[in-house]
Amino acid sequence: MTTPITTSVFDLFKVGPGPSSSHTIGPMKAAFDFRQRVGQLTEPEQQRADSLHVYLYGSLSATGKGHGTDRAVVAGLLGWQPETTDPVALTNLLKDPAERYPVPVGNQTVLLGPEHIHFERKRYESPYANTMVLRLMAGNETLAEEEYYSVGGGFILRKGEPEPDPSAQSVPYPYSTMAELKVQLIQHHLTLDALLMANEMALTGSTRAEINARLDDLLAFMHRAVRRGLRNKGVLPGTIKLSRKAPLLYGQAKSLANSSDSFLLFLNAYCLAASEENAAGGIVVTAPTSGASGVIPGLTYLAKRHFHYSPATLRSGLWAAAVIGFLVKHNASISGAEMGCMGEIGTASAMGAAFLTRCAQPAGAIETIEAAAEIGIEHHLGMTCDPIGGYVQIPCIERNAMGAAKAYNAYLLATAGRASFQKISLDAVIKVMKATGRDMSKRYKETSQAGLALSATEC
Ligand code: SF4
């Protein structure tokens, strides 16, 4: 077995401001980490500090402006945390180019302005597409420097950081692939929920009741984003001037409630609502990323409102969704900058298919959940990431609705007939996703250098 999966469900589903977990939440967390580190310099060093510079490379440089990476970095340096950030205050950062922000360095402060955030165009040797370097200076002398990688879904790595010690994060039922997970389930006669709950309790030290309450909170955060998006009208921020559409679709769905279209209209409205909130910089839940934060919220809202699933069933569905996200993150990547959109919407769609399957078939076999997720990924393979203007709007918002619709169909396809009809395993399709992502030109991986992004002039 390779290193076992030790991701917490609460790291996969993170509350934070939109529009992009890798370009907003990740950089905010990296900047916050740097702020903590410079606070540990010696006092003489802190006293000499006179400037702080942030260098953004790769996809962070290419689409960071549209994604609000500069504002996220300032917020992190000011000590803000994603889950408690006020989205309006975040939007207002850097609005006035003359404003300078005091960043504490121990007992001193250095002033930070837009001239200290560098969107670097030159090539930078780095193992990850989203790379940022933070540097604390005294004149021309570097007092502290750290290099961070934002690897999707708001997860960050720091250069030189020792690999987490697997023994320090041991789980009772280790697995790194779907095949290994199935062996654990059979050997220990466990349900998927029971296995994942036991691992989560070991990882977080929380009780079953605490974890259930936090899962309910996550669903509540997701559904608040949907409800806000169903109400909020107007034009989204940015140069595209894209009008919000969710309230319109919701009105249509209600007026056509007895037509055969209404089910899909409601689902479209819910997914667009959460995605439009994300695009507006509102508080969303990464599922598994902010760009894909409309699929699972839309489907869970539909499941709650239209199928009347109980809180326990919704939680079971969320576990099934989570394990698919864990497997893709561990064995490929959930980052648009690494995999293109198949890593974001493709994964979200597979998670959604697993969610629906688990909710509809409480005693259903893991093989059926696996088949649904496999279909979800299979039909997103090769999907590029080419957001117009670097904004998480076109194609992202509609893509969430399309990902949810495919998730629903994947669930229907997987639950028809026997799971053994499925000839491709989930592990195999995840490997294909990884290989396809590696082969994909970086122009199609969240750099806005090709594809739809080149249609920007027509908008
Ligand atoms: S195109 Fe897909 S991967 Fe790219 S920013 Fe939009 S949602 Fe994310």
- From 133, 158, 183, the end of a domain falls on 158
**Is residue 312 domain-shared with residue 331, that is, in the same domain?**
yes
Q: Are residues 147 and 178 in the same domain?
A: no
What does the pLDDT read at residue 331? 98
**Residue 156 and residue 128 in contact, taking contact as beta carbons nearer than 8 Å:** no
Considering the domain architecture, whether residues 109 and 250 belong to the same structural domain is answered as: no
Looking at residue 84, which CATH number applies to its domain? 3.30.1330.90
Q: Are residues 233 and 287 in the same domain?
A: yes
More confident residue, 148 or 457: 148
Q: Give the residues surrounding ligand 1 with Cβ less than 6 Å away.
A: 291-292, 336, 341, 344-345, 385, 387, 392, 395-396, 399, 446
Contacts of 9 (CB under 8 A, 6+ apart): 196, 200, 211, 215, 318, 319, 322
**Lowest-confidence range among 38-42, 147-151, 257-261, 338-342?**
257-261
Distance 446 CA to ligand 1 centre (A): 7
Asked, for residue 4, whether it belongs to a domain, the answer is no
Distance CA 291, CA 272 (A): 12
User: What does the DSSP assignment read for 58-100?
Assistant: EHHHHHHHHHTHHHHHHHHHTT--GGG--HHHHHHTTSSTT--
Give the rounded distance of the alpha carbon of 30 from its chain centre: 16
How many structural domains compose the chain?
A: 2
Co-location of 216 and 106 in the same domain: no
Domain residues for the domain of 412 are: 169-458
Q: Band the pLDDT of 436: cuts 50, 70, 90.
A: very high
User: Is residue 166 scored above 90 in pLDDT?
Assistant: no
231/125 same-domain check = no
pTM above 0.85, yes or no: yes
Asked if the structure places residue 1 within a domain, the reply is no
Looking at the structure, do residues 208 and 347 belong to the same domain, yes or no? yes
Mean of pLDDT values over 399-408:
98
Q: Which of 271, 342, 385 to mutate to test the pocket of ligand 1 (most atoms within 8 A of CB)?
A: 385
Give the number of the atom of ligand 1 that is nearest the alpha carbon of residue 446: 4
Residues 118 and 206 in one domain: no
Please, which residues bridge with residue 57 across strands? 131
Q: Do 108 and 86 share a domain, yes or no?
A: yes
Q: Is residue 294 part of a domain?
A: yes
Q: If you measure from the C-alpha of residue 242 to the centroid of ligand 1, how many angstroms do you get, rounded to a whole number?
A: 16
Question: What separation in Å is there between the alpha carbon of 392 and the centre of ligand 1?
Answer: 6
Whether residue 393 is contained in a domain is answered as yes
Instruction: Give yes or no: residues 99 and 194 share one domain.
Output: no
In a domain, 444, yes or no: yes
Is there a domain that residue 180 lies in?
yes
Minimal-distance CA residue to ligand 1 atom 8:
291
Ligand 1 pocket, mutate which of 345, 349, 445 (most atoms under 8 A from CB): 345
| Other CB atoms within 10 A of residue 210 CB | 13
As a whole number of angstroms, the distance between CA 40 and CA 48 comes to: 14
Phi, psi of 455, deg, nearest 5: -85, 5
Residues 143 and 189 in one domain: no
Could you tell me if residue 74 is inside a domain? yes
Whole-number Å distance, alpha carbon 340 to ligand 1 midpoint, is 7
Give the Cα separation of 28 and 23 in Å (integer).
8
**Domain-located, residue 10:** no
In this predicted structure, the answer to whether residue 185 has a pLDDT above a threshold of 70 is yes
* Pair 218, 310 in one domain: yes
Task: Say yes or no to pLDDT of 165 above 70.
Answer: no
